[in-house]
A and B are shown apart, each in its own frame.
Chain A
C-alpha cells in the first residue's frame, strides 16, 4: 500500500508519431538478409517487428512481422515464414536477442536447403527504421480509477507509446500502466496482472485500446479501490 507521501507522480498521457526512414540496405536473397542482419541498426529490427502496428495493415494479418512476410511472399519459403512468424518480440528484453534468434532461424534454414531462395527485383527486402516524436497531451491521471475513463479516449499514438514503446524505456521492460501501478503495491496487483495478460503483439492498436479499456472498466466497475 502506498502512503500518502509516497504517491507516484501523476501519469502523464503522452502521444507519439513515427517517421519511417529508408536505410538504403536491401536484400534480394536469404544469404544477403542474414549478412545484413548481423550489423543492421537495432532500430530496423524494432521497426520490422513492432512498427507494423503503426503502419497500414489489417486485423489478423497472415504474418505479424516483416521478415516472415517476406519469407512467404518474397522468397516463397513457407517453412521459414512460419518459423519466423512465431518469434514473439515481447519475449526479448532488447533487439540483440531478437537479432540472434532471427539469424539462427535463417542459418538453420540455409543449412536445410540446397539452394538459396531469391526474391524478384520488385520484392527485395528493404530495411527501414524510424524516428519517433513524443509529445505531451497535457492530460494527467492522478488516481488509478481515472484510467477507466481516460484509456478509452487515448489516441492510437498514445496506446503505442504507453503500451508498446514503453517496453524499451522502462527499467523492467513493461508497459507504462504496469510501471505506474507497481508502487501502489498489492492495492492494484490484480489489475497489473490483468494488464500483463494482454498480448501486445496479436492485435491492432485499436484492439489494444479496447482490451485495455475493457480491463480497466471491468476492474474499477467491479468495486475495487
Chain B
C-alpha cells in the first residue's frame, strides 16, 4: 500500500482501502480523463485535486484536463449555471457560438488523449459539448452534473440536453436533481476529503489561537454556521434562533462565517442585512473570510458545540458533513441534501424554523451527554457514508459497469 492509501486507511479504515483495491484491480492501467473548467477554486476542482491522485494510487492511469476560453465563454457558462438552477436567462446566439467554438478548440487540442481514453468524465456544462467534436472516440463518456437541474429554465436545458444526450451515462448528486436523459443516470452523492486542510485534525492550540483572533471565549458555549451570505442559507434566521436561545442561556456565542461575495451581486446586501440583524451584540461574530481560510473554518467548526446549517433551500450542503466529521451534531434545514446527512434525532436535528432551531440548541446545550453521543454518531456516519473513499468506490463501480456492460449484475473475476 502506498503512502496516500496508507493515509486514507488511517482515517477511513483499512478494510475500506482493501475494498477499493479489489474493485480497482480489474481496472488497472485503464486510461481515465477528467475534464472540468478550472484547477483552482470551486467544489469540483477541490474534489478532483484529491480524487485524481487517489484513483491513480489505485492503479488507474488518470489525467485531468481543463477547458478554458475567452470572456464570452465564461459569460455563457455562467448563464448556463443560473439557467439550470431555474433562473430565466436567455443565452444569445453569439454566446452559444463562443461556447461551441471553445469546446471545439479544446477537443482539437486534446483529440488524441480524449479519443483514446477508456473513460472520460466531463464535469458540469462547461466542457459538455466536447463529445460532439470527437466522433471517433473509443471509450465511454460520462457527464457528471454537480448542479441541481431538477427545475431548469427549459430553453437552456433543451440546448444543453442535445450535447449531453450523446453520453454513455450521467451522474447526479441526488435523485431529486435528475432530468430525463436517454442513458443511465447514476446517483453519487458528493463527499468530503478527510485529509484536506478543511477537515484534517488540528492541534488544540491552533483552535484556541483562532478563537483568540476573533475574540471568542473558549469557556462559553458556541454555535457556528459556515456558509455564503445568501438568503437561502437563512443567516438572519440563525440570529433569531440564537436570540431565542440566549434568553435562557445568556453565555451563548454565535459565529456566522462565510466567504467573500465578489461574484454574487446579492452577497453584499445579505451581509448588510446580517450585520444589521446582529446589531451591537458582542457575542455575535459575523466573519467575512477569504476563500482559502480553510484552517480557520476547520478551527471554528471544531470549537463549536453545535454547528448549524439552517438553509431554506440547499443543493447538497457539504458543510454539514464537514462539521459531523469533527464530531459535532448539526441542526440543519429540512431540505435538499441536508436530509441525507442529518439523521434526525441521531446525528442532529432537522428544523424548519428559527424557533425549531432554538429549541434544539437549548436541548443539546442542556444535555451535554446527548450532545457528545450525537457528535460521535455523526462522525461515524460520515466515515461510513460521506468520505472521498466512498465516492471513489462508486465511480469505480460505474466504470466497471460501463466497460463490462453486463447489465444489472457484474461478476468480476
A and B: interacting chains: yes
Known A21-B186, A24-B180: A58·B347 in contact at CB below 8 Å = yes
Judging by beta carbons under 8 Å apart, are A24 and B185 in contact? yes
Q: Which B-chain residue is minimally distant from A14 (CB atoms)?
A: B411
User: CB-defined interface of B392-413 with A at 8 Å, one 1/0 digit per residue?
Assistant: 0110111011000001111111
How many interface residues does B have (CB within 8 Å)?
Answer: 43
Count A-B contacts at CB 8 Å: 94
B23 located at the interface, meaning its Cβ lies under 8 Å from any Cβ of chain A in the complex: yes
B340 located at the interface, meaning its Cβ lies under 8 Å from any Cβ of chain A in the complex: yes
Interface residues of A in 2-55 (CB under 8 A from B): 15, 17-22, 24, 43, 55
Known A56-B381, A155-B19: A136·B413 in contact at CB below 8 Å = yes
Bound CA span A157–B18, Å = 12
Judging by beta carbons under 8 Å apart, are A155 and B18 in contact? yes
Query: Which of B171-179, B194-202, B228-236 has 4 or more CB atoms under 8 Å from chain A?
Result: B171-179
Bound CA span A174–B384, Å = 27
Bound CA span A57–B400, Å = 26
Q: Pick from A22, A58, A133, A155: contact of B187, CB below 8 A.
A: A22
Q: Which B residues are CB-close (under 8 A) to A133?
A: 23, 397, 400-401, 410, 412
Judging by beta carbons under 8 Å apart, are B401 and A131 in contact? yes
Bound CA span A184–B271, Å = 72
Interface of A is mostly: strand
Judging by beta carbons under 8 Å apart, are A22 and B175 in contact? yes
Q: Pick from B185, B189, B398: contact of A22, CB below 8 A.
A: B185
B335 located at the interface, meaning its Cβ lies under 8 Å from any Cβ of chain A in the complex: yes
Q: Which A residues are CB-close (under 8 A) to B184?
A: 21
User: CB-defined interface of A153-188 with B at 8 Å, one 1/0 digit per residue?
Assistant: 101010000000000000000000000000000000
Judging by beta carbons under 8 Å apart, are B341 and A22 in contact? no
Known A56-B385, A157-B19: A135·B175 in contact at CB below 8 Å = no
User: In the complex, how many angstroms separate the beta carbon of B234 from the nearest chain A beta carbon?
Assistant: 16
Bound CA span A43–B398, Å = 17
B346 located at the interface, meaning its Cβ lies under 8 Å from any Cβ of chain A in the complex: yes
A149 located at the interface, meaning its Cβ lies under 8 Å from any Cβ of chain B in the complex: no
Known A18-B397, A131-B397, A136-B413: A56·B23 in contact at CB below 8 Å = no
User: In the complex, how many angstroms separate the beta carbon of B392 from the nearest chain A beta carbon?
Assistant: 11
A134 located at the interface, meaning its Cβ lies under 8 Å from any Cβ of chain B in the complex: yes
Bound CA span A57–B343, Å = 7
Q: Which A residues are CB-close (under 8 A) to B172?
A: 22
Judging by beta carbons under 8 Å apart, are B180 and A135 in contact? no
Q: Pick from B176, B384, B386: contact of A122, CB below 8 A.
A: B176
Bound CA span A124–B401, Å = 28
Bound CA span A126–B413, Å = 33
B15 located at the interface, meaning its Cβ lies under 8 Å from any Cβ of chain A in the complex: yes
Q: Which A residues are CB-close (under 8 A) to B25?
A: 135
Q: Which residues of B contact A (CB under 8 A)?
A: 15, 18-19, 22-23, 25-26, 172, 175-176, 178, 180, 184-187, 189, 335-336, 340-341, 343, 346-347, 377, 381, 384-386, 393-394, 396-398, 400-401, 407-413
